[in-house]
């Protein structure tokens, strides 16, 4: 029989602290696996079947916990990632600590807090008499922060089997949950020019950096905030020395689009970028790596249901769209998906990352009620 801890903020926070104090940078799989082992261990007294999928391509393992009931028909899929963007050792700069209503730590808000409250809510569900009519499958992944290259297929497969998908990414701006996310594209630009002695033979050179400047201006010109399209040239490199006409230049680009039509248009524009200079070649690679997540009819009624549960619990649930991508982007095209169900707080990916302790109980209870009432 599973132990019940009820929905006490301090009890939940102690559980989160344990997960936060095991640092889990995406690129250090042995650390991610340490936490995966702890999470697996914490499922030992719960009525679940565990499947641990070995990590590949330098990423950690994924863990799938399936409730012993309701697995013969479409149920509830809960998506949480345990990796963080913070490098190893960052916890010395951002140790777990509580100040007033804020609890700090690497990944505490994005998203160990959310992953933990969903687990806690499941534990409470198992301890109580009022089990959910639907089966619950909770996936803990290891690579969301780099775009989920090794978990995407698993998420898509389980997402298609599910009736509802609940994603425990952080809440936004005062507890809002997420019913729409932009699609995300990533691209690389490789430019090759002709090197020369910049002082004695400038006429022989074709500058790759100069061409990159043209390309950057074209990319920046694609930004259209009224349409919600953003293009960011986030990394540039090029050249070797001040007195050499640069032979090579390179850039990395992030594209965000609100819908599929814009995705087609802007992916095409970026991949179609050409050199304006004879003797200089421009090659662009990349693609949309997360499809846009648009609010569907099924997603809208799932949101309305969650909103009425929140009202019963005494708080207002508001939905929003965000430019940030998540694993919800992979499931939303096929299955009703609600995202941002994790904890409230601020400072994701920063040295002041924090959750609001007062958000733990209501958000955990909301997940618990969703488990109990979705049918």
Q: Identify residues 156-175 at the interface with Zn ion (CB under 5 A).
A: 169
Q: Which two tokens stand for residue 317?
A: 């649930």
Q: Which two tokens stand for residue 150?
A: 């090794």
Rounded CA separation 337/156 (Å): 12
Does 262 engage in binding with Zn ion (CB under 5 A)?
no
Does 143 engage in binding with Zn ion (CB under 5 A)?
no
Rounded CA separation 92/312 (Å): 41
Please, which residues have CB within 8 angstroms of residue 267's CB and are 6 or more apart in sequence? 185, 255, 287, 288
Does 353 engage in binding with Zn ion (CB under 5 A)?
no
- Smaller CB separation from Zn ion, 71 or 350: 350
Q: Which stretch binds Zn ion (CB under 5 A): 37-45, 110-118, 179-187, 273-281?
A: 110-118
In sequence order, the β-bridge partners of residue 177 are 319
Rounded CA separation 314/316 (Å): 7
In sequence order, the β-bridge partners of residue 295 are none
Q: Which stretch binds Zn ion (CB under 5 A): 103-111, 176-184, 221-229, 295-303?
A: 103-111
Q: Which stretch binds Zn ion (CB under 5 A): 37-45, 106-114, 316-324, 339-347?
A: 106-114
Please, which residues have CB within 8 angstroms of residue 201's CB and are 6 or more apart in sequence? none
Q: How far is the CB of 80 from Zn ion (least distance, A)?
A: 9
- Smaller CB separation from Zn ion, 102 or 329: 329
- Smaller CB separation from Zn ion, 171 or 209: 171
Among residues 116, 91, 97, which one has the least CA distance to residue 170?
Answer: 116
Q: How far is the CB of 140 from Zn ion (least distance, A)?
A: 12
Does 110 engage in binding with Zn ion (CB under 5 A)?
yes
Does 83 engage in binding with Zn ion (CB under 5 A)?
no
Q: How far is the CB of 145 from Zn ion (least distance, A)?
A: 7
Does 111 engage in binding with Zn ion (CB under 5 A)?
yes
Q: Which stretch binds Zn ion (CB under 5 A): 58-66, 104-112, 121-129, 234-242?
A: 104-112
Find the Cα–Cα–Cα–Cα dihedral 123, 127, 130, 131, rounded to 10°: 50
Rounded CA separation 359/364 (Å): 8
The binding site for Zn ion (CB under 5 A) comprises 110-111, 169
């Amino acid at each position: 029989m599973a132990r019940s801890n009820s929905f006490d903020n301090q009890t939940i926070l102690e559980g989160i602290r344990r997960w936060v104090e095991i640092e889990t940078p995406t690129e250090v799989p042995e650390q991610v696996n340490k936490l995966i082992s702890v999470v697996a261990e914490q499922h030992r007294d719960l009525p679940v079947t565990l499947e641990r999928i070995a990590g590949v391509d330098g990423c950690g393992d994924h863990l799938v916990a399936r409730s012993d009931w309701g697995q013969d028909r479409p149920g509830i899929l809960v998506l949480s990632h345990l990796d963080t963007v913070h490098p190893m050792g960052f916890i010395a700069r951002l140790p777990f600590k509580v100040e007033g209503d804020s609890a700090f730590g690497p990944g505490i808000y994005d998203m160990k807090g959310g992953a933990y409250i969903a687990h806690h809510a499941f534990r409470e569900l198992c301890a109580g008499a009022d089990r959910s009519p639907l089966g619950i499958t909770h996936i803990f992944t290891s690579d969301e922060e780099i775009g989920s290259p090794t978990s995407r297929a698993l998420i898509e497969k389980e997402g298609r089997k599910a009736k509802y998908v609940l994603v425990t990414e952080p809440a936004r701006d005062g507890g809002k949950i997420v019913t729409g996310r932009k699609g995300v594209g990533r691209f690389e630009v490789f430019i090759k020019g002709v090197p020369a002695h910049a002082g004695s033979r400038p006429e022989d050179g074709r500058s790759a950096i100069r061409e990159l400047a043209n390309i950057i201006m074209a990319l920046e010109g694609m930004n259209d905030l009224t349409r919600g399209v953003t293009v960011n040239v986030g990394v540039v490199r090029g050249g070797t020395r001040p007195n050499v006409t640069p032979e090579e230049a390179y850039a990395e680009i992030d594209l965000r689009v609100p819908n599929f039509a814009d995705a087609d248009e802007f992916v095409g524009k970026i991949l179609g970028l050409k050199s304006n200079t004879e003797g200089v070649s421009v090659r662009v690679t990349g693609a949309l790596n997360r499809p846009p997540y648009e609010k569907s009819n099924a997603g809208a009624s799932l949101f309305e249901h969650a909103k009425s549960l929140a009202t019963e619990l005494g708080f207002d649930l508001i939905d929003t769209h965000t430019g940030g991508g998540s694993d919800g982007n992979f499931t939303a095209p096929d299955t009703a998906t609600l995202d941002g169900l994790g904890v409230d707080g601020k400072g994701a990916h920063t040295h002041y990352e924090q959750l609001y302790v007062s958000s733990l109980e209501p958000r955990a209870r909301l997940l618990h009620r969703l488990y109990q009432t979705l049918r």
